Copies of this chain bind each other. A is one copy, B any other.
Amino acid sequence: MADRVPQLELGNQLCFALYAASRAATRAYGPELAELGLTYPQYLAMLVLWETSEPLTVGDIGARLHLDSGTLTPLLKRLEDLGLATRTRDRADERRVLVALTEQGRELRTRAAEVPLRLFQRYGIDLATARELVRDLTRITESLQASTRGGAEA
């Protein structure tokens, strides 16, 4: 009964390879980040904030991480509860919410700086391959986004 349909086999699917690798990476980060009191998506938001240490709007962070307000609003509230960030309405444009690091949030960067290196060693690949992968994956992400936004014109 198992007539083979090669393009449907799990092992051939790029989407599954991406899905499995992404989840494996998130899981691998888990315990490291738990020591900092962060989840993986929270860590990503902190990465964005650490890059400028200037206040950013929810939209700025979302654009960088490809996440919408439905995901970010509760996540950022948790960062606020943790004392790592503040959320304040922009007085100049009351539609916006400005997210800024607290002193505690800034200080966490020192401890976080060690995490990526420890994780890199677990990937089991060399630096050149990693760089190449980042390049290819970024291209795929952009290509998929362009074709998804573009819609399904016949």
Chain A contact residues, CB within 8 Å of chain B: 1-2, 5, 7-29, 31, 40, 44, 47-48, 50-54, 64-66, 109, 112-113, 116-117, 119-120, 122-125, 129-130, 133-134, 136-145, 147-148, 152
Contacts and interface: CB of A to CB of B under 8 A. Distances in A.
B18 A21 contact: yes
19 contacts: A5-B109, A7-B113, A8-B50, A8-B112, A14-B120, A15-B119, A18-B21, A20-B65, A20-B66, A20-B141, A24-B144, A24-B145, A25-B144, A28-B144, A122-B148, A123-B144, A124-B140, A124-B144, A125-B140
Q: Is the interface of A mostly helix, strand, loop or mixed?
A: helix
Contacts of A31: 152
A73 to B, nearest CB: 18
Contact of A109 (B8, B134, B139): B8
A145 to B, nearest CB: 6
A17 B109 contact: no
Contacts of A145: 24
